[in-house]
Structure 1
Amino acid sequence: MGRHKLARFAANQVARNVFERGKPHYETICGNWHETYFHNTNPIALELACGRGEYTVALAEKFPEQNFIGVDIKGARLWKGSQQCLQKGLHNAAFLRTQIQNIEMFFAAGEVSEIWLIHPDPRPKDGDERRRLTNPRFLQHYRNIGKPGMWLRLRTDSDQLFHYTMEVLQNEKITDLSYTEDLYESPLIADHLDINGEPIRTKYEEMFVAKGHKIHYLKCRLW
């Protein structure tokens, strides 16, 4: 393991905004995020498979009246977002290191108001369909921790994942569906602007856009 990773893991161990195995509250935070960490009753939004946490950081900065939690299993990645939030003094942001399929271990029913899926792994192989984060079994996980009518948002460059998700949603109880296959040519881009009015982009999206890929986006309410 590289020295950089070891240093990042060590930083995560002492960062107050990182929740991971072996740290205080990791096993007791479920249902207690407002009381234990945020010390407010503001709505909680999750960025699942957050990677470096670009959205968690940007949205927390833009919306101080909301709380944001980036979730990922890769500690060396979420370290980046954690450190940025600490440097910016963003107390309405946190990071949780866990597998997405274990999400119900960390959030109680009705604790989450919104979920963002930003360029998740599209899992293009047919055998990986159950691992797609918009598969019906994951949607049920989200419902189990979410408030009725919670927002689900997906941003992806994958035609396959986007169209797969649209098909899945036809058989789900949803409302207020909006979507575009070219986000940068859509008024829905307004959902993705940072505090300076610039589009929030992940490192990977910058590469996708440079290659000419169109960015797809959809949002709906889950019931």
Structure 2
Amino acid sequence: MSRNKLARFEHNRLSPNVLEPGKALFESIKGNWHRDYFQNANPIVVEIGCGRGEYTVGLARHFPHLNFIGIDKKGDRIAQGSMRALEGGLTNVAFLRTDVFRLLEFFSNDEIQEIWITFPDPQPRVSQVKNRLTGPRFLPLYQQVLSQGGTLHLKTDHSDFFEYSIQTLSAYGFQDMVATDDLYASEMNNLHLGIKTKYEEIFTRKGFSIKYLKCKKAG
């Protein structure tokens, strides 16, 4: 293991904005995010598969009246987001180190107002479809933790995955869907707020259009 990874794991162990196995809040936070972590009643926004936390931290800067939680299973990735948040003095950010399929272990029903899924692995092979973050394995989890009328956002460069997501979200009862095949050329361009993940930077430099959708849990 590289020295950088070891340093990041040590950062996570000591950092107040990282919840991971071995920390008390990791075991008791479900249903208690407002009281025990954020210590306010502001709405909670979660980024699924947050990677290095660019989007979680970027949104937190723009919306100080909201609480943001980035979820990823890779500790060396979320350490980078944690460092950015701490360096920026952001108190409305947390990072949760866990697998997405364990979502119900950390959030109660209706506890989240918004979910962002930014540039997930499209899992292009037939054998991988079951692992898509907008597939039947995960959508019931999102529905359970989202509040009534809560919003789900998706950004991707992958056309097949985007079309698949539109179909599955509709099939699972998400409503009021708005979608575009080219975010930066659309009227919704202002929604990205200038925030780009590492992969978004790579894809846009290569000339790929960025697809975006938002939809709501049925009220």
Q: TM-score, normalised by structure 2?
A: 0.97
C-alpha distance in 2 between matches for 1:98 and 1:119: 18
C-alpha distance in 2 between matches for 1:189 and 1:19: 33
**How is 1:9-158 mapped onto 2 (pairs within 5 angstroms)?**
9-158=9-158
Deviations 1:135-175 (A, max 9, x none): 02311001111111110000000111101011213322122
| Stretch deviating more after TM superposition (68-77 or 126-135) | 126-135
Counterpart residue identity of residue 124, structure 1: P
User: Which position in structure 2 is the counterpart of 1:196?
Assistant: none
C-alpha distance in 2 between matches for 1:136 and 1:182: 26
Unmatched 5+ residue regions in structure 2?
A: none
C-alpha distance in 2 between matches for 1:115 and 1:190: 18
State the shift of 1:187 in Å.
Answer: 1.6
State the shift of 1:189 in Å.
Answer: 1.8
Unmatched 5+ residue regions in structure 1?
A: 194-198
Question: Secondary structure of the equivalent of 2:85?
Answer: helix
Residues 139 and 169 in structure 2, CA contact (< 8 A), matched pair in contact too:
no
**How is 1:169-180 mapped onto 2 (pairs within 5 angstroms)?**
169-180=169-180
Q: How many residues align?
A: 218
1:207 aligns with 2:206: no
| Stretch deviating more after TM superposition (46-55 or 128-137) | 128-137
Percentage identity across paired residues of the two chains = 48
State the shift of 1:192 in Å.
Answer: 1.2
State the shift of 1:61 in Å.
Answer: 0.8
Counterpart residue identity of residue 34, structure 1: H
Q: TM-score, normalised by structure 1?
A: 0.96
